[in-house]
Structure formats: structure tokens, C-alpha cells
Structure 1
Amino acid sequence: MTDAPTIQVPGIYRRRIGDIVVTAVSDGVVHAQYAMMREIEPEAAEALLKAAYRPAPPHISVNCFVIHSAGRVAIIDTGCGTQMTDLQGKLFGNLKRAGVDIADIDTVMLTHMHPDHSNGLTADDGTANFPNAELVVSEVDVKHWHDDSAMSIAVPRHQDRFFMGARFQITPYMNRRRDSVGEVFPGVTAVPLPGHTPGHTGYIIQSGNEQLFVWGDIFHIPDVQVPRPEVHVEPDSDARQAVATRLRAFDMASTDQLLVAGMHMHFPGFLHMTGNAHKGYEVHSEMWVQSL
């Protein structure tokens, strides 16, 4: 008698954008609480999640994206890493299953420096997990997380997890980093999306007539923040700006009919948006396809 399987298939999905191949790689799921959300009561959030047949309290997907372009390999975001007991990422195991050699990655692009995006930069002993990679990250974010005055007014949890964590993660890359401005990799252009963090950044991937908008943390809980875009989250550096940026990104994706990749969209993270600010927006997960 054969035992039933107990392990999910690897979280890997490839999508071609013209001549560029983008691979969504799952870093796993973070189990969140209603308390992380602002401008909504827990009962209302729970109702939205249950109406969408989602876990309540929410489970937040963490996605990273590998880019093969012009004979080179890059990755956008590095997942949760191993530095915190409540954030244990699966990125590196899934990269291996996807046939991606860490040594071949020559560029790491960050959307921002929060632990579920930048912890994976650095091993527990302080060495770089990406030994041959240049780091592309907003200098606005770097300066913010190294600002002792800003850290002094943050709550203790943020002082440790965000400020000290970011400083630890970036240390082995300080002499091989570049600001996220303009074209940062063949076919990849940085787009400022401030609010969630001061230097929060998206990336437009373009090849031929095809585009993909990798928008980082425009939302964390899509089943709540799409119907209720005013809902923001506790880690937002500037909540008002984060909401304004979210609405601007929603409008951009809907008006320009852009394919979007979200770090916290349900895996594999590719979506389209329809609607407008007056009538509201809807998110449409892209259909899974067999071949590139």
C-alpha cells in the first residue's frame, strides 16, 4: 500500500515576457493576524476573507522573482531567510529545485528592506548569501534604516526587526550596491513607489511589446485591500502615502492593462486589475499555463 503524499510540489512558476523569462519562486506563507491591519475592524476583515474563501486570519504569500535576461540572472527580493524563528523562508530550497545556481545570480534587486524581503541577503553568520551579486536597493531606504534618529522613535519591535535587521542584512553588500534608479538590469527599470517604506520600489520588466510590473508590497492582503484600498498595515512607514501609492498603482495597472507581479499576491503572483477609483477595483489572477 502506498502512503499518501505529505509534501507540496515546489513553488515554482515561469512566465515569459518577450525574450525575458521571469520565474516566480515561493518563499512560503506568513501567518498574519488581524491586528496588523488598520482602518478596518477584525470582523469586517474576516468577512472579506471568508467571502473570498481565504484563511482567516490571513495567510500572506511571500514571492520572489528570478529574471533571465540577456544571458544574465537576477532576482527580485530574497525572502525571509533564517534569521527569525517566526520567519523561515523556503526560497533557497525552491531555487535549487528550479535549477537556479546562487553563484549565477549577478544582481539582487530589492523592492525594500523589510525582513520578508531582505532577510535572505545574509546568512546567520553575517556572510552574503549571494556571493557574486551586486545589490540594487533604494538609497532612500538604506539611509532611512541607518538613521539613528528615526530608529529612536520607532517601537522596540521595529527597532530590532526593521532597523537593526536591515543594517545586518546589507553589511556584506555595502561596497557592491547601486541605487535603484533607471535601468538596473537588461530590460528592467526601477519605479519609485514610496509609502510602505520611504524607498519602496517597483520594477518594470519590458521586452518587445510585453511588460510586467513587479510592484512589491502595493498590497499585503489582496482580498481585503483591493475592495478596501484605504486599509493599511502596521509596518507602513507612511500610511497616508502608502494608500495614495496603492491607488496610483491600481490605476496604472488597470488603465494600462498591465500584467502585474505581486510579492504578496497568492502564488504564483501574476495578476491583472480592472476597474477604477470611483467604482472600485477587481483583481484577476492570471491563468496557469503549461508552456512558456
Structure 2
Amino acid sequence: MSMNRRTLMAGGILAGPILASAPGLAGGGAAPAADLPGAYRYGVGEASVLALHEGGVKRPLDAGFVRNAPLPEVQGALARAFLPTDTLPITFTPLLLTLGGKRVLVDAGFADQGPPGTGGVLRGLALAGIDPGTVDAVVISHFHPDHILGLKRKDGSPTFPNAQVLVPEAEWRFWMDDGRIANPPDALKANLAAVQKTFGSGLTVDRYSWDKEVLPGLTALGTPGHTPGHTSFRLESGGKRLLIASDITNHPALFVRHPDWSALFDMDADQARATRHRMLALMADERVPVAFYHAPFPAAGHIAKADGAYEFVPLQWGVDLA
């Protein structure tokens, strides 16, 4: 399938898949999902966004995943969304922006350091004909492992060797605190180890502040709660906008439909809940398109008000988001 820039950009925000051929498809057999890179390109004004399917995991669903809702209610929400009620599929979608002539990756995935079923960012880039060495910047939203481990490969070498790495100042202060590193709380030990593995040596890192442009056209928005320095972004180009929400919600079938519910991963549940309400209301009221990290691929669409809460309306191929 061929898609040139004029086709891609017509009308402001248009979308199209990058299709892969895989063994077995032409002959009617089904190739394993892990063998099929996923990449989906859409435009935001004069910028382009390449959603990269890093992969996913299936997390066993137990009473602790949603900390403030009974398990039967959580299972009911999943059943209404036609999802399994014993496991939760969690997917990961970093974004490669082409903005002002620069290639900017928002969050890094796992590279070759993740669980089985991940590592799709590098396959998606290869499918799109993009060498990781041509990525100009990697902007990190927060320091959970599924967002940072992909900055390096298992051997410690940088995955994106020529990229400027930009991280939130507030997140850096929390996770790189000498006292916290020396005496890590039990609940944070694994995450602190991932942070040290990533940022302890071998990378040059620049820090950015909230409410300022990280790069031209990309503004950092403070959305704390999930982590202390959790950040979302506003992409603006050619009079169009996209809100890159990062992890203000986990799976939308649970946390968009039920914004008061708190996921196990939210470090400050009350603050995360307040952030989620504020941002979902903004998305719905302003009808601004949004990209999530953990929504079903390609993880972009709109937020609509529904029954006193919200619903995620996924983008449809070939139709304007804005």
C-alpha cells in the first residue's frame, strides 16, 4: 500500500496503516501476532504521528488491580466491553512524531528488555523504513519501565544513539534522589532498579519543565498522580492539536468509563483521580483528539461524555480526528 504526504495530510488529520506481509498470510494461514509489526500513521496539521505497537501483556485480573472497586464490578465492566474477565490485556503504544523536520519519539517501550510479546517499536520502525539512528529526540513522559527501558538494549548500548533524551524535571528529582536510591522503599525497589539501569550511566539526559515547550510544537503538561512527575503533552501544528495523554488512564474500558477507579500502578491515587477527571473533561469539552499509551492500538481517538462519565471513541481509518 502506498500513501504519500498529500494523501496523509489532506483535511488536517487523516490516518492510514502501514501494512506488513508475513509468512502464511497469502496462503490463508495465520502468523503469530508477535511476527506482525504494527505501525499506524496519521497527521496533525503539518506534523505526522506514527503510532508504534510495542506489543502487550495479559495481566491476571485480581481484586488488587482496581484498588477501590469490587472485583465483580470490574469484571462486569470488562464483560460489557467484550473483554475477558480473568485477564486484562495491556498494550503499549509509543509515538514517533515528525515535527519541524525532526523525528521525535514519545516514550521508548522496552526494546529487547521487556516481557514476551513486546519489542515491537523496533520492528515497526523497520517496517516504516526508519533507522533508530535517525531519531533526533526521545521524550519520556515518566519513569515506569515500559516507558524507559527501551532507551537501551540488553547490552547497555543506546537504542537511539543519536537522539537527545528529554525527561521531566519533577520525575528526575523523585527517582534519582540519592536518599531514595540508597534506602529504597520495598514498593519502589524494582522501579528504582529499572531507573538506575537506564539512567545510571551511558546516556546524556536533558530535563524539561511543565507548561513549556519541550521542542517546538510540543508542550509538556503536568499530569501527576500516576507518578510524581507524570507528564502529558500537547502537540500543535498547522492549527491542529493532539493531546498525548500518556498514562492518565490504563485500559479505557475501566478507567475512562470509571474515572474514579484507581489502578494499582497509580502512586498517588487521589492525585491521579483528580488529574484524570480534569483531563477527561478537557478532552470531552474541547473535542480535542487524544492518544493514550495503554488504549487498544492505534490508541487514538476522542473522549465523549456518557452516562455521567466518559467513553473512548477510537479513531476510524480514513476519517479526520479533528
Normalised to the residue count of structure 2, the TM-score between the two structures is 0.83
- For the aligned residues, what is the CA RMSD? 2.3
Q: What corresponds to 1:123 in structure 2? A: 153
- Give 1:1-292 correspondences, 5 Å limit: 2=27, 4-8=29-33, 9-34=36-61, 35-56=64-85, 57-85=87-115, 88-150=118-180, 152=183, 154-155=185-186, 158-160=188-190, 162-172=191-201, 174-181=203-210, 182-275=212-305, 279-289=308-318
The answer to whether the 8 A contact 2:135-2:160 is kept is yes
SS in 2 for 1:232: coil
Offset of 1:148 from its aligned partner?
A: 4.8
SS in 1 for 2:94: strand
The answer to whether the 8 A contact 2:38-2:120 is kept is no
Q: Give the Cα–Cα distance (whole angstroms) in 1 for the partners of residues 175 and 100 of structure 2.
A: 33
Q: Structure 1: state its 5+ residue gaps.
A: none
Q: Aligned AA for 2:30? A: P
Cα 1:80–1:286 change in 2 (3 A) is same
Q: Give the Cα–Cα distance (whole angstroms) in 2 for the partners of residues 29 and 85 of structure 1.
A: 9
The answer to whether the 8 A contact 2:56-2:118 is kept is no
Offset of 1:86 from its aligned partner?
A: 5.8
The answer to whether the 8 A contact 1:112-1:199 is kept is yes
Q: Give the Cα–Cα distance (whole angstroms) in 2 for the partners of residues 84 and 148 of structure 1.
A: 26
The answer to whether the 8 A contact 2:252-2:311 is kept is no
Q: Give the Cα–Cα distance (whole angstroms) in 2 for the partners of residues 114 and 129 of structure 1.
A: 17
| Identity across the alignment (%) | 30
Offset of 1:5 from its aligned partner?
A: 2.7
Q: Give the Cα–Cα distance (whole angstroms) in 1 for the partners of residues 299 and 32 of structure 2.
A: 21
Q: Give the Cα–Cα distance (whole angstroms) in 2 for the partners of residues 244 and 291 of structure 1.
A: 30
After superposition, the C-alpha distances for 1:12-38 in whole angstroms (9 at most, x for unaligned) are 111100100001000011212333221
After superposition, the C-alpha distances for 1:120-173 in whole angstroms (9 at most, x for unaligned) are 0111122211111111111211121123544646325x302x111012112346
Q: Aligned AA for 1:155? A: D
Q: Aligned AA for 1:289? A: G
SS in 2 for 1:73: strand
After superposition, the C-alpha distances for 1:26-59 in whole angstroms (9 at most, x for unaligned) are 0011212333221112221111111111233210
Q: Aligned AA for 2:109? A: G
The answer to whether the 8 A contact 2:136-2:164 is kept is yes
SS in 2 for 1:38: coil
Q: Give the Cα–Cα distance (whole angstroms) in 1 for the partners of residues 246 and 223 of structure 2.
A: 9
Deviates more, 1:27-36 or 1:101-110: 27-36
Cα 1:171–1:177 change in 2 (3 A) is farther
The answer to whether the 8 A contact 1:121-1:170 is kept is no
Offset of 1:203 from its aligned partner?
A: 0.9
SS in 2 for 1:143: helix
The answer to whether the 8 A contact 1:126-1:172 is kept is no
Deviates more, 1:179-188 or 1:193-202: 179-188
Q: Give the Cα–Cα distance (whole angstroms) in 2 for the partners of residues 185 and 272 of structure 1.
A: 24
Q: Give the Cα–Cα distance (whole angstroms) in 1 for the partners of residues 185 and 260 of structure 2.
A: 23
Aligned residues: 289
